[in-house]
Amino acid sequence: MKIKRQQFNYLIYWLISTIVFLIVLLVINQLSFKNQVSTQLNKHLSPELTKAFQQHIIDKNYKNLVKSNLNQQLALTNALTHFNIFKRYSLTIEALFSESDHSNLHTIYVPWQFGLEAKQAKVILDYQIRWWLIICICSISTFIILVLIHLVPKPVSSHYKQWLNLLKSLQVEDDIAKALSDKIEITDTSKKDWLKSLLTKILEDNQLTENVNINDLVIWFLNKTTDDLQQISQIKFIDALYQSTINIDQAYQLAKKTCVLSFNIDTFTININNFEIKLAKTPFFYYLWYAYLKVNNVDAGWLINPSINHPDTQSANTITTLMKENHGHSKSINELETHGLRAKTLDQNRNKIKETLISQLGEELSQPYLFDLLRDTKTGRFKYRLKLDAESIKLPQAIKNTLTQK
């Protein structure tokens, strides 16, 4: 489709160029022909006019006789120069004493001497144009010119060369690098600055160079607006690109400045800025429990690790209910019912959550979705809560209903 569109554009350029060239060529040839004929008439016709009047002045009808005599001579005149695009041209004296000076391509004024008075004769130049010849000349000429223009390498700017060299340094093939450089050159300056910064950082990092398909990255970039790019953190975007399991679109979602965490209790998955991560059943419920505490501002979202000798039975009952109603692991449910909620259990599940997130997102990107840590001043034990703001956490309706009833 793109090739047909390009061919159509070339056809339009050729037609327009042909028409313009035809008009210019025709006007130039007509002016040249007229000037040449005018020069010859001034040289030869002026003396003849004076001579003819001297011969016929005694005749009452001398004006008509002179005019008729000279027109007969002009009718026998051949072209002084051969103009191939004209044929069957003729010269006719329309007036011997013309006071008008209005000229055009077919009118020539010839000065001559009538006694002591300077006069001018009006001569009409008539001809036919060989249209087929001039159209052929113009068509072929413009076609050759357009082909030559197309074949001549386009001048390139210093910025284009910089983009080309940068892309080649990132192992992009020559033809692709040239095509991409052309497209980059016509984008907004702010967008180009963003891309240059990104590609330079990738070039300086061997792992990124191996992980990222630069061709796909630049094409992705060209399809984004300035507003799209302003919504993300380039640092986060680069952190996401380090992960070989994350594609460019997912990296863009994860790099958004606004963090959003949601839970799918049916599939035991969490969704971080539209990037889905599967958790094991039990860590999923503990992560969901911490999220519930943060959203509902229960003790400002903090959960203190229970003491070794006194497990947290109240929290254990709540988590047990949540697991039972949503297909939790029976072993985990039995453990809570038998031993209550212990610090060891909380630590193990937080570690599993952390390991899963870091394995999927990397160390830096996972940080906003992990836990804050403080030592409780009253008990001396550690307490934990999610780092993420409550407004950025979306709980499933099922947990809201279950824990509200509880």
Q: Which of 127, 151, 175 is the last residue of a domain?
A: 151
User: What are the structure tokens assigned to 339, written together?
Assistant: 């031993």
Secondary structure class of 319 (helix, strand, coil): helix
Is the pLDDT at 405 greater than 60? The verdict is no
pLDDT score recorded for residue 26: 77
pLDDT score recorded for residue 403: 67
Same domain (yes/no): 265, 373: yes
Cα–Cα distance, 284 to 266 (Å, whole number) = 11
The helix (H) or strand (E) run that includes residue 49 is helix 2-56
More confident site: 240 or 24:
240
Same domain (yes/no): 320, 265: yes
Same domain (yes/no): 118, 17: yes
Same domain (yes/no): 127, 205: no
Same domain (yes/no): 137, 221: no
Same domain (yes/no): 337, 307: yes
- Say if residues 382 and 375 touch (Cβ distance below 8 Å): yes
Tell me, rounded to whole angstroms, the distance of Cα 110 from its chain centroid: 62
Indicate the Cα dihedral angle 337, 284, 384, 318, nearest 10°: -30
- Say if residues 259 and 221 touch (Cβ distance below 8 Å): no
Same domain (yes/no): 110, 164: no
The region, left, alpha or beta by phi > 0 then psi within -120 to 50, assigned to residue 122 is: beta
Residue 205 per-residue DSSP state: -
Cβ neighbours of 165 (radius 10 Å): 12
Same domain (yes/no): 73, 181: no
Cα–Cα distance, 160 to 180 (Å, whole number) = 10
| Report field, pTM of the whole predicted structure over 0.85 | no
pLDDT digits 0-9 by tens, 213-231: 999 999 999 999 999 999 9
Give how many domains the chain has, as a whole number.
3
Same domain (yes/no): 77, 37: yes
Same domain (yes/no): 164, 305: no
Cβ neighbours of 352 (radius 10 Å): 17
For residue 293, what are the domain limits?
Answer: 261-405
Same domain (yes/no): 277, 385: yes
Is the pLDDT at 65 greater than 60? The verdict is no
Cβ neighbours of 156 (radius 10 Å): 14
Same domain (yes/no): 385, 303: yes
Secondary structure class of 5 (helix, strand, coil): helix
Secondary structure class of 264 (helix, strand, coil): strand
Which residues, including other chains, have CB under 8 Å from residue 231's CB and lie 6 or more apart? 256, 257, 258
pLDDT digits 0-9 by tens, 348-394: 999 999 999 999 999 999 999 999 999 999 999 999 999 999 999 99
Q: Which of 222, 254, 286 is the last residue of a domain?
A: 254
Is the pLDDT at 166 greater than 50? The verdict is yes
pLDDT digits 0-9 by tens, 113-148: 776 777 787 877 777 777 777 788 778 888 888 777
Q: Which of 254, 278, 296 is the last residue of a domain?
A: 254
